[in-house]
Each structure stands twice: as structure tokens, then as C-alpha cells.
Amino acid sequence: MVAGWASNSQYAFLGALRSAAQMVSYEVSLGLILLTVVLCAGTLNLTEVVHRQTDVWYALPLLPLAGLFFVSTLAETNRAPFDLPEAEAELVAGYNVEYSAMGFAMFFLGEYANMILMTALTAVLFLGGWLSPLGAWDPLRVLGVTTVLPGLWMGVKVTALLFGFIWVRAAFPRLRLDQLMRLMWKCYLPLALAFVPLVAGILLGFDGLPVLA
């Protein structure tokens, strides 16, 4: 955002404004979804959140929220179809239009680092993190190979989610700015907000509401 303003270009400035509006909008949904996961896990410790998914990954009982979280990470990282801050058909290249060489490379490095961070967070919150999907039937564990398992499964899940990022970019057209804002404020935000009392009520009704650690 600061880079778009510092370029002293209307295209870059409009891209920075779009980036700010988009980031603020989708971070609200991300926070509410994270709150729902914390309600299920009973802790803010990500390691404990992973351990609570030993029996079942949160992506199964919280499947709608997992989908909302994945789409929100697409918007948070400015990836297609939510790459409006960089829309080349409208803004030339958006907030990075005046940057070249290593400045341009740093923008791309930050974007892809953000993608890896958000996919890793998605894997930790909904896909069991570094836990094996095979459980006790994991052939590597049966053979006694346990030192590389956490990193291996975490890498597989992050890679699969990154493939989803790339596939979505190739499969879906870019949304208009008004469509993106409508999707957030009229669809995702009410859904994410409704799931907080819904999940809390279900946990309370079945006496499964954990005590926050």
C-alpha cells in the first residue's frame, strides 16, 4: 500500500487502495473463522490445535469454514480471481507498476512467501498440520521411519494447497471490484459470523465446549 502511494502514479495508487480495501474486508472473515477453530480446540497454541485433530481433522466437521478460509486466503494474498490490486487490464500492473529489477523481485518474493504462510496456516488449522492422514497405518511409521514424517506430511499438504492456488488462477476469471466487495460483506462475513454461535451452541449442547488453555 505504501509502495503504491510512493510511486506517485494514479495506477499504482488505485492498486494500493484496492489492496487496502480487499485486505481489510477479508481479514474480518479470517478472524471469525479462526475464532471458530479456537472454540473447537480450546487453545490458541497452534501445536495443541494440531494435536486436537489426531482423531478427526477440522476440515471435515467445519468443511464450509475450511472452504471460506481457503477462498479468503486467495483474496488475502491477492491471487486470482482476487488479484484486483494488480489487474493488468485496468491498472497496468497495479501498485508495483513503477518498480523494476530487485524492487519488482521483492514484490514477487513477498507474494509467494505470503502464499506459503497462508497455506501452512490452512494446513495447521484444518488439515491436521504435520499429522499423517493414515494414522497408525502409515507404512513409514510401521517401518520405523519417524524422524522425517512431520516435515514430509506438512510439505505434502502445503504443496497440495499451493497447487490449488495455481489451479484457481488458471480456471477462474477475475472478479470486478464491486463483486468482490459484495462477496465479502454480504456472503462471507454473515456466514463466518453465523458459524461462531452455531458451533459454540453445538459444542455446548453436546458438552464438548473446551476450556481455553
pLDDT band of 47, cuts 50, 70, 90: very high
Looking at per-residue pLDDT, the higher value among 22 and 4 belongs to: 22
Rounded CA-CA distance 76/70 in Å is 10
Domain ranges of the chain: 2-205
Helices (H), the chain: 2-6, 10-41, 46-51, 63-76, 88-91, 101-126, 139-142, 149-171, 177-182, 189-205
pLDDT band of 140, cuts 50, 70, 90: low
Q: What is the CA radius of gyration of the chain?
A: 19
Range of lowest pLDDT (9-13, 106-110, 131-135, 185-189): 9-13
Looking at per-residue pLDDT, the higher value among 181 and 66 belongs to: 66
Looking at per-residue pLDDT, the higher value among 6 and 210 belongs to: 210
pTM of the predicted model, to two decimals? 0.85
**Whether residue 93 has pLDDT greater than 70:** no
Residues 50-88 have pLDDT tens digits of: 989 988 999 999 999 999 999 999 988 888 788 777 666
**Whether residue 116 has pLDDT greater than 60:** yes
CA dist list (Å): 3 to 6, 91, 117, 197: 5, 15, 22, 40
| Residue among 148, 140, 132, 127 nearest 67 (CA) | 127
Q: Which residue in the block uniquely carries the three cell numbers 485433530?
A: 53
**Average pLDDT in the 98-111 region?**
76
Rounded CA-CA distance 187/70 in Å is 15
